[in-house]
Chains A and B, each alone.
Chain A
Amino acid sequence: MSQQSEDVRYRGSGQPGVKTRIYSVAVPVVLGLCGIALLVGSLALGVGTTNEPGPGLWPFAIACTWTLAAAAIAWESFKGTALPPVGPSQRPAVGFGLTLAFILIFSYIGLIPAVLIVTSAWMKLLSDMSWKRIIIASLTITALLYILFAIIIGTAFPASVLPIP
């Protein structure tokens, strides 16, 4: 898998810098803290005994496993295995923003504007497609989804300001 090859790449690029090492340890440590928070939460629910198990017993067991495994990763990182960097995040951030926008437009305005706006913005911002191709593609996607969900399946869409979904 590509992930492995990335791991190898970073391991292979000599001794990681201080920044990378701090980051590589910080990620599993934060993860471990989440595990500890879960541990506290499950204790609050009540662990009970093996004969009378409480609602928190199972989450407690999970939290222990979680925390220990996170600690193991932190130790690995501390010894020098660097985590792959977060890397270029501008384009994923745009993608995230458009996904968020889709949910909002879908919830408050309607299916058709949401699909039209988000797919065309996506193609414009994240690829080199020409406007002509973008319009054809986003109209196709919109029509497809409209036929599938609104006509065939008859989904009840959220309150729309438009007469059609």
Chain B
Amino acid sequence: MIASRALAAITLAVASLLVTSCSVGAGPQSGGTEADYPNSSIEAVVPYDAGGATDQLARTVISGMEPELNEQSVVVLNESGGAGTSGMTSVVNSEPNGYKLAFIAGGPLTVQPHYGKTSYSYDDVTPIARIATSPIVLAVRADAPWNTIQELVADLKANPGSFRYASTGVGNPASIAMEKFNAAAGVDTKQVPFKSSSETVTALLGKNVDGAAGLPQGFTASVKSGDLKILANLGSVKDQSYEKVPTLKESGIDASTDLTSGIVGPKGLSNEVVTALADAVQASLKDPKVLERISSSGAVPDFGTGEEYAADIKSDFDENGIVLKELGLIP
């Protein structure tokens, strides 16, 4: 029993260090009437690992939302797994009372249901608010021969198949963006999928590939140090750190891929709850500290109402379906 006493002693020591964290881990709430919503803490499911882009965004926005929600705490729960579908499923199946929500970035709603393995469809949710939009960008080494996307297109037409780019996986936004670019510009690029954005940057810096597509955040450090440059913005929005880079549309190529992040709840949320939450998001996105943190991740704060966000989800879902079919990933 000496051992368990020792363990208990260590435990107590740590407990005193961490005693403040006790508030986390409340069970599911029994919501009150809608009029006084919210009257207890809200669970915010992030269906990805802690520390990822969506997790950072969720925690940042939440910090500005709580004062607007009767000072109730919004507790982040990282339920990763199944490419975001695990956490999504648990939210879809929860009571539509406004006490369990999901912070997502596209994927679990606009890509995964296409594979037919999810128990829900893209419209089995109540979209609450769009928070931010981030473009997909294409980065190349700073000493690469191309300075604009047109130069790359011209080079690719002369030497088809000579350009290899690193992506974060087939069917991910980066790969979908490049497929759309290929189709619109009439060129052929070869994709080499990697597991994470940091691996794509390493591969690019190490001259294993000629370019890398992904969210701007992954490239910030290397662009700042002068090792990489952003060649093209494959999306439609711009943050100040890459505002000089034209979008594909501005360069005369008709394709655009953005990743929108937002909050959804289970289907059947009442309008009062949706409005209360959307207002809180909107207020949070006016806080300069929140705006600065979002922008430092390369995303663009971009509030949208539930209806606007629902329209984004629908159009992304349809577009992804077409691209996934072309890639041969779905029948």
Direct touching of A and B (C-beta under 8 Å): yes
A interface residues with partner B (beta carbon < 8 Å): 140, 144, 147-148, 150-157, 159-160, 165
Q: Which residues of A contact B148 (CB under 8 A)?
A: none
Q: Which residues of A contact B21 (CB under 8 A)?
A: 152-154
Chain B interface, number of residues (Cβ within 8 angstroms): 18
A-B contacts at CB below 8 angstroms, number: 38
B interface residues with partner A (beta carbon < 8 Å): 1, 4, 7-8, 11, 14-15, 18, 21-28, 43, 77
CB–CB B14/A152 < 8 A: yes
User: In the bound complex, how far is the Cα of B43 from the Cα of A160, in angstroms?
Assistant: 16
Q: Which residues of B contact A155 (CB under 8 A)?
A: 25
User: In the bound complex, how far is the Cα of B5 from the Cα of A144, in angstroms?
Assistant: 10
Q: Which residue, A144, A154, A157, has most C-beta atoms of chain B within 10 A? A: A154
The 6 closest A-B pairs by CB, nearest first: A154-B24, A154-B25, A156-B25, A154-B21, A152-B15, A147-B11
Write the nearest CB–CB distance from B1 to chain A, whole angstroms: 8
Q: Which residues of A contact B14 (CB under 8 A)?
A: 152
Given A152-B18, A156-B77, is A144 in contact with B11 using a C-beta cutoff of 8 Å? yes
Partner of B25 from the list A144, A147, A150, A159 (CB cut-off 8 Å) is A150
Q: Which residues of B contact A150 (CB under 8 A)?
A: 25
Partner of A159 from the list B15, B18, B24, B27 (CB cut-off 8 Å) is B27
Q: Which residue of A lies closest to B5 (CB)?
A: A140
CB–CB A154/B27 < 8 A: no
User: In the bound complex, how far is the Cα of B26 from the Cα of A160, in angstroms?
Assistant: 11
Q: Which residue of A lies closest to B1 (CB)?
A: A140
Q: Which residues of A contact B43 (CB under 8 A)?
A: 156
Q: Which residue of B lies closest to A147 (CB)?
A: B11
Write the nearest CB–CB distance from A8 to chain B, whole angstroms: 36
Q: Which residues of B contact A144 (CB under 8 A)?
A: 4, 7-8, 11
CB–CB A159/B8 < 8 A: no
CB–CB A157/B27 < 8 A: yes
User: In the bound complex, how far is the Cα of B21 from the Cα of A155, in angstroms?
Assistant: 11
Write the nearest CB–CB distance from B331 to chain A, whole angstroms: 14
Given A140-B4, A152-B21, is A147 in contact with B27 using a C-beta cutoff of 8 Å? no
CB–CB A147/B15 < 8 A: yes
Partner of A152 from the list B11, B28, B77 (CB cut-off 8 Å) is B11
CB–CB A160/B8 < 8 A: no
Q: Which residue of B lies closest to A149 (CB)?
A: B25
User: In the bound complex, how far is the Cα of B15 from the Cα of A144, in angstroms?
Assistant: 12
